[in-house]
């Protein structure tokens, strides 16, 4: 490359280094170059909308410094300028958050033009400029980074986010992008913060109305000292994050009580039938956001059967076996664990219950292992009729479940 070309490490890698976190990926900005120069130097072009290149040796991305502005096409339509005259300062100014708008030169010198290092130290998510207004995805990103680092949103940034919501900007978000950001948020240390930030700026009602509708819905204080169903939901998500890093479990925890938003006013704070009432709402959300089937499957199972789990010590053997079959847990150890974890999070996601001992989940796993241990192949050798084989296997599984129940009652 020519001597006038300068290369800078930018974005997340700089941020994470300042936080003392290993950055899995490094991104670079190239100032003073052209697409042809990059190709001539052996870089492979991959960007469709603007010039991005891959270093074939390291696999790292190198993007030409650029500016961008929104066009009349809507938030997905941006006009990019990646000419050699674009400066590093101009490139950093177009970025979303101050903590993502820092760079390092080839000597490791930090270039921080927008106070990103100070915001990192103070635990603040702040926008770089009013260009933030042009892309509603930045609302999701701000909420996600707040969840990832347990940071707070700067007041002026929250005001901008509210303005974007009131202007209808979030209504233009494509489902795939909403889910992509939501999935990333679910694997953060504090996913509940993502949803709280969206609610604080008004975006939750527009993006996830099924979740927003839970706030203000009362529950029985004896079982839910926190009263509010929305608060309970976020507490359950928080507990799920303590139990597992599995985003499928965390999503199921998020939507397990959607049916409570549909409870008739006259029976509140009771929520009879909410476990079934939530099923169409879960399907609706998953279809709208195009959420993968594995997320929907577990979420439906947990919604329908989480009350069964809470009553695990009282269930009849037939009910236990039916639950194992209907939740697809009978022969699937991973699925059984996922269901148990979701219900444990539900039990602990209540004020004062956060560290409670939830033995129902352990009993559920014992039942699952016992029923699974039945050797269907051996049983089938003694019958020629398929119906009789199935009944014999079913009866053998019930026998094993009863054996576990008896051992539990003896221990008690």
pLDDT digits (tens, 9 = 90+) for 376-394: 999 998 888 889 999 999 9
pLDDT of 147 above 60: yes
Q: 310 with 331, same domain?
A: yes
Boundary (domain end) residue, out of 128, 152, 173: 128
Cα 239 from Cα 361, distance rounded (Å): 15
Residues 328 and 224 both lie in one domain: yes
pLDDT band at 103 (very low <50, low <70, confident <90, very high): very high
Asked if residue 340 is part of any domain, the answer here is yes
Reply yes or no on whether the pLDDT at 50 is more than 90: no
* Contact present, 239 and 348 (Cβ < 8 Å): yes
More confident position, 246 or 51:
246
Residues 224 and 232: beta-carbon distance below 8 Å: yes
Mean pLDDT of the chain: 93
Work out the percent of the chain whose per-residue pLDDT is above 90. 79
- Asked if the structure places residue 104 within a domain, the reply is yes
pLDDT band at 56 (very low <50, low <70, confident <90, very high): confident
CATH number of the domain that residue 272 is part of: 1.10.3210
Q: Give percent of the chain with pLDDT exceeding 70.
A: 95
Tell me: the pLDDT tens digits for 233-263? Answer: 999 999 999 999 999 999 999 999 999 999 9
pLDDT score of 188: 97
Instruction: In whole angstroms, give the CA distance from residue 179 to residue 185.
Output: 10
Q: What pTM did the predictor assign?
A: 0.91
pLDDT of 1 higher than 50:
no
The answer, yes or no, to whether residue 151 has pLDDT greater than 70, is yes
DSSP tag of 218:
B
The confidence band for 329, taking pLDDT boundaries of 50, 70 and 90, is very high
Shared-domain flag, residues 337 and 395: no
Average pLDDT over residues 66-78: 59
Pairwise pLDDT comparison (333 vs 25), residue with the higher score: 333
Task: Give residue for tokens 């509708």.
Answer: 213
170: in domain: no
CATH code, domain carrying 102:
3.30.460.10
Reply yes or no on whether the pLDDT at 43 is more than 70.
yes
Domain match, 332 and 394 both: no
| Distance from C-alpha of 338 to C-alpha of 252, rounded to nearest angstrom | 9
Q: Is residue 178 part of a domain?
A: no
Query: In this structure, is residue 166 part of a structural domain?
Result: no
For the chain, the domain total comes to 3
Q: Is the pLDDT of residue 3 over 50?
A: no
At 358 the pLDDT is: 97
Burial class, 372, CB count within 10 angstroms (exposed 0-12 / middle 13-18 / buried 19+): middle
Cβ atoms 64, 33 nearer than 8 A:
yes
From the number of C-beta atoms within 10 Å of its C-beta (0-12, 13-18, 19+), residue 400 rates as buried
Out of 341, 356, 372, pick the residue that ends a domain. Answer: 372
pLDDT tens string 175-230: 999 999 999 999 999 999 999 999 999 999 999 999 999 999 999 999 999 999 99
Give the pLDDT band (50/70/90) at residue 411: low
231 within a domain of the structure (yes/no): yes
**401: containing domain:** 373-412
Residues in contact with 78: Cβ distance below 8 Å, sequence separation at least 6, in sequence order: 49, 68, 69, 70, 71, 134, 135
| Neighbouring residues of 261: CB distance < 8 A, sequence distance ≥ 6 | 210, 213, 214, 217, 229, 281
The pLDDT score that the predictor gives to residue 410 is 62
Q: 123 and 46, same structural domain?
A: yes
């Amino acid at each position: 490359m020519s001597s006038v070309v300068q290369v800078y490490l930018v974005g997340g890698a700089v941020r994470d280094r300042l936080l003392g976190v290993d950055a899995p990926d490094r991104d670079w900005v190239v100032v003073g170059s052209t697409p042809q120069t990059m190709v001539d130097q052996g870089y492979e072009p991959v960007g469709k909308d603007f010039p991005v290149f891959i270093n074939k040796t390291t696999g790292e991305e190198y993007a030409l410094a650029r500016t961008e502005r929104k066009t009349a096409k809507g938030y997905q339509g941006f006009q990019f300028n990646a000419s050699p005259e674009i400066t590093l300062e101009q490139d950093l100014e177009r970025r979303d958050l101050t903590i993502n708008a820092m760079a390092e030169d080839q000597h490791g010198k930090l270039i921080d033009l927008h106070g990103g290092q100070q915001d990192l130290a103070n635990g603040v998510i702040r926008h770089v400029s009013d260009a933030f207004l042009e892309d509603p995805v930045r609302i999701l990103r701000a909420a996600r980074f707040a969840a990832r680092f347990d940071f707070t949103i700067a007041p002026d940034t929250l005001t901008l986010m509210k303005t974007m919501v009131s202007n209808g900007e979030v209504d233009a978000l494509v489902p795939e992008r909403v889910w992509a950001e939501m999935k990333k948020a679910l694997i953060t240390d504090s996913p509940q913060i993502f949803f709280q930030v969206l609610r604080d700026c008004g975006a939750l009602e527009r993006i996830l109305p099924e979740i927003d509708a839970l706030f203000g819905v009362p529950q029985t204080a004896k079982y839910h000292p926190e009263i509010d169903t929305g608060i309970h939901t976020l507490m359950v998500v928080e507990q799920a994050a303590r139990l597992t890093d599995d985003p499928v479990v965390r999503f199921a925890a998020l939507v397990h009580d959607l049916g409570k938003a549909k409870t008739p006013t006259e029976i509140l704070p009771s929520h009879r039938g909410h476990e079934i009432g939530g099923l169409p709402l879960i399907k609706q959300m998953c279809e709208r956001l195009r959420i993968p089937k594995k997320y929907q499957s577990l979420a439906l199972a947990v919604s329908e059967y989480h009350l069964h789990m809470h009553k695990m010590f009282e269930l009849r053997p037939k009910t236990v076996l039916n639950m194992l079959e209907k939740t697809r847990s009978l022969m699937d150890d991973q699925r059984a664990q996922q269901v148990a974890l979701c219900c444990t999070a539900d039990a602990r996601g209540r004020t004062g219950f956060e560290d409670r001992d939830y033995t129902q989940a352990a009993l559920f796993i014992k039942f699952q292992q016992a029923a699974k241990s039945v050797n269907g192949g051996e049983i089938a050798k003694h019958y020629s009729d398929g119906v009789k084989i199935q009944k014999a296997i079913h009866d053998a599984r019930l026998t094993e479940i009863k054996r576990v129940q008896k051992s539990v009652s003896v221990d008690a």
